[in-house]
Amino acid sequence: MTRADPDAYGTGLLIAASLCMALAAPLPARASRLWNWSYTGAGIAASGTFTTDDSPDSGGYYKIMDITGVRNGVAIVSLEPDGAAVPGNPGFPVDNLISASGRLTSHGFGFKTADGNYANPFYADFRTPPGFLEVFTQPPSTGFSELPIEFAAAIEPEAKHAGPFINGMCRIGPGRRAVRLKYQGAPRAITAVLMGTSHCDPAPCLLRLNSP
């Protein structure tokens, strides 16, 4: 009868421990932030989300990179590029900047809706008192309005749960000793497969990512 090789058993445990340590490594910092935003005015209701870069610039402003939402029930389909003015409002380019407190600049951000119209919310610091306005244009009919709005935006809070977890069992070594491996942390796209040693079960030890 062949005796179990203690070196192989130790190797199996080392593989299991190494896998746990690798899974516990910190994730890279996220590269963007998700915001919720909304504004209302006379005959106006708009809301949605936008994505900014992860860190503010030297002036304390985040750059808006993408937008989703609706304005008066019509879907928003695109963000106006910074440095360009929405059609129908030449000479007033948007900069797509927002502060952590939800303050826009006097240029604001712009977007296009599915019906071919455009909006440009901004902070009118030149008014007394200052406040938010929305420029709305309808290029096909040359419609134009500039009305006061109540604008609000905030960075979406971090998820309250600890994130997906990984949980599995592998039988390693003499007598196929059960070794349970667990990991819980921030989301990551991982399916880990521990092939084990000569004394593992014939099937690989599969640790599959599960979402809570």
| Per-residue pLDDT tens digits of the chain, which is 212 residues long | 545 454 544 544 444 445 444 444 444 445 799 999 999 999 999 999 999 999 999 999 999 999 999 999 999 999 999 999 999 999 999 999 999 999 999 999 999 999 999 999 999 999 999 999 999 999 988 899 999 999 999 999 864 333 344 444 444 445 444 444 443 443 333 333 333 333 434 344 444 434 33
In whole angstroms, how large is the CA radius of gyration of the chain? 27
DSSP strand E in the chain: where? 32-41, 44-53, 61-71, 74-79, 97-99, 111-113, 118-124, 131-138, 143-155, 165-172, 177-184, 191-194, 205-210
Q: Is 136 helix (H, G, I), strand (E, B) or coil?
A: strand
Q: Is the C-alpha dihedral spanning 101, 106, 111, 112 positive or negative?
A: positive
Q: Which amino acid is at 5?
A: D
> For the chain, how far is it from start to end, CA to CA, in angstroms?
46
**pTM for the complete prediction?**
0.62
